[in-house]
Structure 1
Amino acid sequence: MEYSRRKFISFLGKASLGAMVMPPFLISCGSTTTPIDTKNTSKEVLERLRRLTLEALPASDKDDLLLTKGLDYHTIIKWQDPISDKDTFGFNNDFTCFIPLDKNNPKDGLLWVNHESINPLYVSGYNHRKYKNPELNKTKEQVDKEMYDVGGSIVRIKEVNGRWKVVENDPYNRRITAKTPIELNWDSPIKGKTTVIGTHSNCSGGITPWNTFLTCEENYHDYYGETEYDGNNVATHKKSWHGWEHFNNYPTEHYGWVVEIDPKSGKAQKHVALGRFAHECCTLYELDDKRVVAYSGDDKNDEYLYKFISSKPGSLKDGTLYVADTINGKWLSLDWETQPILKQKFKDQTEVLIRVREAAELLGATELNRPEDIEIDPITGHILVTLTNNKPKGDYHGSILKIEETNGAFDALTFKASTYIAGGEENGFSCPDNLAFDLAGNLWMTSDISGSSMNRPDKPYYMPFKNNSLFVIPRYGEDAGKVIRVASAPRDAELTGPWFSPDGKTLFLSVQHPGERTTDLNNPTSKWPFDGDNIPKPAVVAITGDLIEKMNKLNLIES
């Protein structure tokens, strides 16, 4: 472990705060490094900070949200809570993102929350274990309920006396669902449409320099299936798990995109230029000339890492999409006009973007083990990519990949790829998922051991980790480089969407799918958040406490 700690410190780098590379649009929204005023910090306080040690939380299979010493939480909002007179909060909340309404007031703003998926047993009463064919056994009314509970929510929240609360019936509070009309940001129609119906499978996301939310459609095939092509380029339809295609005539090609949401108007658009695949996230960097670079991973076994470089300032339409060859350190262009091999297979750029997985394979991109969240180190500018796992290939615990763009240029077409750390018992975590840097550059990480695998004796490789957890890897102080568990999720749940408030004093976090292995509603596998209904409910919580504030000040010692 000592070797891993030294390697981690070297991996992240301990550059001075003057070398900070994070763009201003992220600095203004928190979730990055911001220099702290030291004028009124006494030597005694600094010495206490130097000696600060984190108390690691032991792995637990208890049905509760457990936090280490120095942290506390309260629930902001949970499934079915009203956000207005007509709308309620959706199911299985994932990515969170907070934008203050006034940049001078970090305690009042708009919270975006993804609703990734539904458990039909809770949402519509459809029992997948009892009924195997939704085409025959599910009703339109049940599908309508399911369509409402995915997408996302915008809620205005305020911190009052140390607790974050939803502003009831605020004009900004609204839902985006699988029935919301959404424009395609593209010149050519897709399956005859320039406006499509709804968004779903919304996993992680991002934020733009112009202060809009990005929400990413991941496992879209679960709802409308997928179009598959044989060696002769003949298409067939593969059925979905939830069977929505039997009730709605919405082509699957309308899903699998990055969706941009205006927080104040709720207007949405899908960015075709970023490609169609199981987007886990979309992380943007704004260049000096205001062009943007967008990183996104395809969360599926043996899929790829992508980067879009815009050719015009502030555009997510005009530019080129690339896929990573991590073996040779090259970004491979997915431009139909300049790639003869793509012209042989696809009729135009639109088809390349719809079938981008096939295009990436043709170009020789490097298969990766479920690339999920992507974050940019605010100190060094290195790009960190979580590779959650790849069980068929024997990778049960995943790893974190580091991308170093040539000369630190985010629009470079070459890079160096290396593995920083692999999951497993030796390093204290398994299946890394979401990442976030706090105001001092400490790295926070959630895990994603599937509900079907955790706490099962027949899956012994996951038994030591018990429930999913939240970890922090300090950058400074005596614990620098240690992987420290600071929260443990309720049963069957995963912790997702970590996002820091602008002042760094609150960590917004989703508790997703507690009790997902329930087969009998009268005997759920979890009862969190214990609100009296006797059923589990996904929820967003605010984590606060002295520990977060103290960790944010540890950079004073090193800077």
Structure 2
Amino acid sequence: MDRRKFISFLGKASAGALITPPFLIGCGSTTTPIAGENVSNSQLNRLKNLKLESIPASKVDDLILTNGMNYHTIIKWGDAINDKDTFGYNNDFTCFIPLDKTNPKDGLLWVNHEYVNPLYVSGYNYRNPNTLRTKEQIDKEMYNVGGSIIRIKEVNGKWEMVFNDPYNRRITAKTPIVFNWDYPICGKDSAIGTLANCSGGITPWNTFLSCEENYDDFYGETVYTENNKSYHKKSKYYQWEDFYQYPPEHYGWVVEINPKDGTAQKHIALGRFAHECCTLYELDDKRIVAYTGDDANDEHLYKFVSSKPSSLKEGTLYVADMVNGKWLPLDWQKQPLLKKRFKDQTEVLIRAREASKVLGATQLNRPEDIEIDPISGNVFVTFTNNKPKNDYHGSIVKIQEDNNEFDSLSFTYSTYKAGGEKNGFSCPDNLSFDLAGNLWITSDMSGSSMNKDDKPYKNFKNNSLFVVPRYGSQEGKVIRVASAPRDAELTGPWFSPNGKTLFLSVQHPGEQTEDKDNPTSKWPFDEDTIPKPAVVAITGDFIEKMNMLDKIV
């Protein structure tokens, strides 16, 4: 899109219309607005005159921030959270819920742990095919995925974990988790553990959502032939099925976690596939709309609409037909084509990818994060890339539900920004809107592709964090404000309730390391110089000015 068309495209706020608080509270966006606060003309004028400094692309092994931003580490892999548990590996999605709505500086932080690097976690060198694995190594890997709940407080301007707090706990690949469904999945009412936890969301009733993405890396997958005969396809990477024969069908779901007691459930009604995120919107009658995407080449975009208030069980799962602007119901009772291929609704949900293709849903270029613009109500989706189809840089797409009704079954869409050198970013991944409605973007170029002499990623160097201002002379321009350490990506951006802190994960630094004694990254530069995933808090004048905090305090 031409930058001059950005404002009419994204949707601009006028004075007195900063945020609609019930909207964000209901949909679980990455900000929690302060009710009753409006934007003054003087605030808008100051933001319009704010000049943002874009940092150049960097190959430096460090977390580099633009002027006016600074960071401190809250927690990193291996840190003890209580007397028995440690923080897991490869932290991704973060989500903060205050314990008391009146105190934005004390609350619970949920952090996903997506996958492990066996070289560090279990001592297994996966690059050496002659190395045999042991059950003990697998157990270590299973412990280091899932998620962590930690209580954190801001003390003298810095966020700190409260060690041994009663709320601190781990959810791992060995934690029993029930299915929120009336019928068993492969003969069971519960699964052993959660894994491949990528992005997520938050519910209107203040629980966490964690999404199981590349589940087939761990226990493989059940594959069906054209004649509907099944066979097991072995996992490509971790091969946990060599020691634990858990059904692949127990993974690939959206998991809900109660932060107060750690109880969890897997939501079958939302379908099974490589969930990147799950973003909710609460309708006036308290019914829930849930958007989620399947992060794989040629997969699909989904929307669940509940039929009962506050339910992620009763309702209908839809898949997007982008060509005709229709949401197609994955409903076994109403779709003859589904009845012909699948035996019941449970099987449709387990095999949602196949069911979507049977109905002719649009195959997309890795739909990842989905966020709802708090001002316009438009739905923004990142399509990271699809290299086999020569889409190397991805794009961000805007969806407008008909009549601005989120339970509508028809929509229009358009490309908001295409990745590439013209717009200054590649492979968009996570999105976040701040309190002023500015759009923040992280990138996800793979470690094996970055910083190579051959294009297409050479000039982008390390992965980065960008912001797209909504106001002023730079409105619509993509501005790089942070550069990740070597091999890492920046994930899980989440603003604190008062807008003064951006929580951010630094995931898989040094991932391309082949020799532990010669790592490709040493971030975060602690005493043993081993690269460690970590969660940081970013603060400073830049964050506060972008969130218009000259008034909101």
TM range (shorter): over 0.9
Cα distance in structure 2, aligned partners of 1:105 and 1:242: 42
Counting only pairs closer than 5 Å after superposition, residues 97-136 of structure 1 correspond to structure 2 as 97-131=95-129
Cα distance in structure 2, aligned partners of 1:262 and 1:225: 28
**How large is the Cα RMSD of the aligned pairs?**
1.8
Aligned: 1:195 with 2:190: yes
Aligned: 1:400 with 2:396: yes
Alpha-carbon contact 1:9-1:481 (below 8 Å) kept: yes
Counting only pairs closer than 5 Å after superposition, residues 409-448 of structure 1 correspond to structure 2 as 409-448=405-444
Alpha-carbon contact 2:28-2:202 (below 8 Å) kept: no
Counting only pairs closer than 5 Å after superposition, residues 329-478 of structure 1 correspond to structure 2 as 329-458=325-454, 460-478=455-473
Cα distance in structure 2, aligned partners of 1:291 and 1:37: 27
Counting only pairs closer than 5 Å after superposition, residues 469-488 of structure 1 correspond to structure 2 as 469-488=464-483
Kindly state the Cα deviation for residue 7 of structure 1 after the two structures are TM-superposed: 2.4
Other-structure match for 1:182: 177
Aligned amino acid, residue 194 of structure 1: D
Other-structure match for 1:539: 534
Other-structure match for 1:311: 307
TM-score (norm 2): 0.96
Alpha-carbon contact 1:75-1:540 (below 8 Å) kept: yes
Cα distance in structure 1, aligned partners of 2:298 and 2:317: 19
Aligned: 1:31 with 2:31: yes
Check 1:439–1:36 CA distance in 2 against 1; reply closer, same or farther (3 A cut). farther
**Could you say what secondary structure the match of 1:397 adopts?**
coil
From 139, 149, 155, the equivalent of 1:144 is 139
Kindly state the Cα deviation for residue 51 of structure 1 after the two structures are TM-superposed: 1.9
From 268, 279, 284, the equivalent of 2:280 is 284
Alpha-carbon contact 2:18-2:436 (below 8 Å) kept: no
Counting only pairs closer than 5 Å after superposition, residues 2-13 of structure 1 correspond to structure 2 as 4-13=2-11
> Over residues 464-502 of structure 1, what are the superposed CA-to-partner deviations in whole Å (9 max), with x where a residue is unaligned?
100000000000122111100000000000000000000
Structure 2: gaps of 5 or more residues:
none
Check 1:194–1:56 CA distance in 2 against 1; reply closer, same or farther (3 A cut). same
Kindly state the Cα deviation for residue 555 of structure 1 after the two structures are TM-superposed: 11
Structure 1: gaps of 5 or more residues:
none
Cα distance in structure 2, aligned partners of 1:166 and 1:66: 23
Aligned amino acid, residue 182 of structure 2: D
Cα distance in structure 2, aligned partners of 1:503 and 1:392: 43
**Could you say what secondary structure the match of 2:2 adopts?**
helix
Give identity over the alignment, percent: 72
> Over residues 167-209 of structure 1, what are the superposed CA-to-partner deviations in whole Å (9 max), with x where a residue is unaligned?
0100000000000000000000011100110000000000001
Kindly state the Cα deviation for residue 19 of structure 1 after the two structures are TM-superposed: 8.1
Other-structure match for 2:68: 70
Alpha-carbon contact 2:33-2:498 (below 8 Å) kept: no
Other-structure match for 1:260: 256
Alpha-carbon contact 2:27-2:281 (below 8 Å) kept: no
Counting only pairs closer than 5 Å after superposition, residues 211-230 of structure 1 correspond to structure 2 as 211-230=206-225
TM-score (norm 1): 0.95
Kindly state the Cα deviation for residue 429 of structure 1 after the two structures are TM-superposed: 0.3
Kindly state the Cα deviation for residue 361 of structure 1 after the two structures are TM-superposed: 0.1
Check 1:47–1:325 CA distance in 2 against 1; reply closer, same or farther (3 A cut). closer
Cα distance in structure 2, aligned partners of 1:461 and 1:435: 23
